[in-house]
Amino acid sequence: MTNHYDALETRSPSEREADLFKRLPDVLRAAAKAPAYAERLKGIDPAAITSRAALAALPVLRKSELPALHKAAPPFGGFVSSPTGSFGRLFTSPGPIFEPESAVDDPWRGARAVFAAGFRPGDIILNTFSYHLTPGGFIFDSSARALGCAVIPGGPGNTEQQFELIETYRPAGYSGTPDFLKILLDAADKTGRDASSIKRALVSGAAFPKSLQDEMKARGVDAYQNFGTADLGIIAYETAAREGLVVNENIIVEIVKPGTGEPVTDGDVGEIVVTTLDPHHPWVRLALGDLSAVLAGQSPCGRTNMRIKGWMGRADQT
């Protein structure tokens, strides 16, 4: 059985870099069909943006700006050229920020994160992220189903009904916040319910300190972290190596000096900036406000993409 989702994860870093920046000019041309990107990219020749240095010269779009931009030019601030009805689902998240989901398999690029957490086709996963208006539940649902897993759409809360589902379907694993995983396991112990089928977990959306990691391991649950956002889906994910988070394929991640678009030296803490290569809904240098740092070297798990140290705070709190 392979230890990797596909061959993209183990290609040489130089091959990956060449592929990303070969594709980037066409993505920029697609982005410029939307009025807001057309204004931001005015005077820029997409054909010249074929390196990280060239990309770093493009303007940064701050996620903190999106609520006002979306309000001024609903629904997506002029950053999406595709018709709103061409998407599969339409969400909102606090801000408010409005997010479309592309009508494709694995629209949030999360299947490889589910695979890295030890799940395989045919596994059953209890998904406790919210399915109401925000994309969280659907991010993990679609990612698991793209891998070939069956998903129980549990959503958050209502532990009594969750136990009925767990005892009936016997899910191999859990996706949701680490806090709610602990709540479920504590409640099962207290009430004598059987949640023993849950042996793996993919957690996000809240801090997962080492004390809680150790507790989950002691209780027989192998839990893996990932980092993502409602706009972008899965950005980076933990692997069996347990050394930082591996950056997802088909995106470009930069770490920049907070408040600027200037990349920091590898290893220094900075703000995460992401460019996606989906021509239907591209993001060009979206600054998330979250801090991290590049982790030197390649992962012992065999994946060769950049690694980051995980979530290290907010840029507006530095």
243-290: pLDDT as tens digits? 999 999 999 999 999 988 999 999 999 999 999 999 999 999 999 999
What is the dihedral sign for C-alpha 45, 51, 56, 60? positive
pLDDT above 70 (res 162): yes
Q: In this structure, is residue 97 part of a structural domain?
A: no
Q: Are residues 214 and 264 in the same domain?
A: no
Note the helical H segments in the chain.
13-31, 35-40, 52-55, 66-72, 111-116, 136-147, 159-169, 178-191, 210-218
Q: Are residues 192 and 250 in the same domain?
A: no
What is the dihedral sign for C-alpha 297, 253, 248, 238? positive
Q: Are residues 222 and 246 in the same domain?
A: no
Interstrand relation of 233-237 and 245-247 (parallel, antiparallel or unpaired): antiparallel
Q: In this structure, is residue 93 part of a structural domain?
A: no
Q: In this structure, is residue 90 part of a structural domain?
A: no
pLDDT in tens, 55-112: 999 999 999 999 999 999 999 999 999 999 999 999 999 999 999 999 999 999 999 9
Q: Are residues 147 and 212 in the same domain?
A: yes
Q: In this structure, is residue 3 part of a structural domain?
A: yes
pLDDT in tens, 192-250: 999 999 999 999 998 899 999 999 999 999 999 999 999 999 999 999 999 999 999 99
Q: In this structure, is residue 253 part of a structural domain?
A: yes
Q: Are residues 175 and 251 in the same domain?
A: no
Sheet holding 286-292, edge to edge: 61-62, 286-292, 270-276, 251-256
pLDDT band with cut points at 50, 70 and 90 for residue 317 = low
Q: Are residues 223 and 312 in the same domain?
A: no
pLDDT of the residue at 43: 95
Q: Are residues 159 and 222 in the same domain?
A: yes
Contact predicate 58/285, CB 8 Å: yes
Q: Are residues 122 and 226 in the same domain?
A: yes
pLDDT above 80 (res 301): yes
CATH number of the domain where residue 178 is located: 3.40.50.12780
Distance CA 136, CA 177 (A): 11
CA–CA distances in Å: residue 123 to residues 44, 49, 112, 307: 47, 42, 15, 27
Alpha carbon of residue 125 to chain centroid: 18
End position of a domain, from candidates 231, 251, 267? 231
Q: In this structure, is residue 35 part of a structural domain?
A: yes
Domain count, the chain: 2
End position of a domain, from candidates 231, 257, 289? 231
Q: Are residues 224 and 305 in the same domain?
A: no
Q: In this structure, is residue 269 part of a structural domain?
A: yes
Q: Are residues 219 and 307 in the same domain?
A: no
- Percentage of the chain beyond pLDDT 90 is 94
Q: Which domain holds residue 298?
A: 1-82+241-318
Q: Are residues 120 and 204 in the same domain?
A: yes
Q: In this structure, is residue 7 part of a structural domain?
A: yes
End position of a domain, from candidates 183, 213, 231? 231
